[in-house]
Amino acid sequence: MSSPIKPTAEYAEKPLPEVQILTNRLLSADSTERVLNALDVIPNIRQINMTGESLPKTINNGPGKGHANNHTERKIIHVGNQEVELRYLVGGFYIEMDVESEEELDARLEEIKAACDATIEHGYTLQVGRYLKYKPTLHDYRSA
């Protein structure tokens, strides 16, 4: 029996490899911009997701609730010719690789490592695996 609900987006049919980069220190907005611009020129990158610690726009509780937070690292950065609004102090990158073979992946990994070594001052750990969902699972078919 086919499912009545179809996933909203047609996604990659196979689990493409992802490169997980976790930095030893949380990066400032300027450093994040440098890392992304260094990664931006590497071919075969399908998408980059970032994680980190949330920086709220306003003070969200306590006596100062409602005041603007004015965090210096919550700002718009420029990657390639795109604007990216940062809402986090970034501490991790998940880079999805659109590669056909192991050799191609290895070659791109070397480039990614070189880009990170040049831009991440306090070091990082790098792993290859699959970290984000790439196909619908039971959770996507639950009733609201």
Partner 1 sequence: MAYKRQFYPGNSVPAKNRRRYLDPKVKLKQLRDVSMDDVVRIMGHRNPGEDYKSIHPPIEEGKEPECPIRKLVVPIEGAKHGDRVRYIQFADSVYFAPISPYQRAWMYLSRYRGVDTGTLSGRQIIEVRERDLEVMAKEMIDNETFDPALTGIRGATVHGHSCRLDENGLMFDGWQRYVWDDEKKEVVYVKDQVAIPLDRKISVGKPSPLSDLRKRTTIFRADGVDMRDDKEVTMYGLRIHKLRTLGGYQPWKVKGE
23 strand-pairing partners: 124
CA 107 to chain CA centroid, Å, is: 21
Q: Where does residue 67 fall: left (phi above 0), alpha (psi -120 to 50 degrees), or beta otherwise?
A: beta
Binding flag, residue 23, partner 1 (CB under 8 A): yes
Instruction: List Cβ neighbours of 88 (8 Å cut-off, separation of 6 or more).
Output: 50, 51, 52, 53, 54, 55
Minimum CB–partner distance for residue 127 and partner 1 (Å): 17
For partner 1, which residue of 42, 44, 59, 128 counts as binding (CB under 8 A)? Answer: 59
Identify which range of 33-41, 50-58, 110-118, 130-138 contacts partner 1 by CB under 8 A: 50-58
Kindly tell me which of 6 and 25 has the beta carbon lying closer to partner 1. Answer: 25
* Single residue of 2, 3, 8, 72 touching partner 1 by CB under 8 A: 72
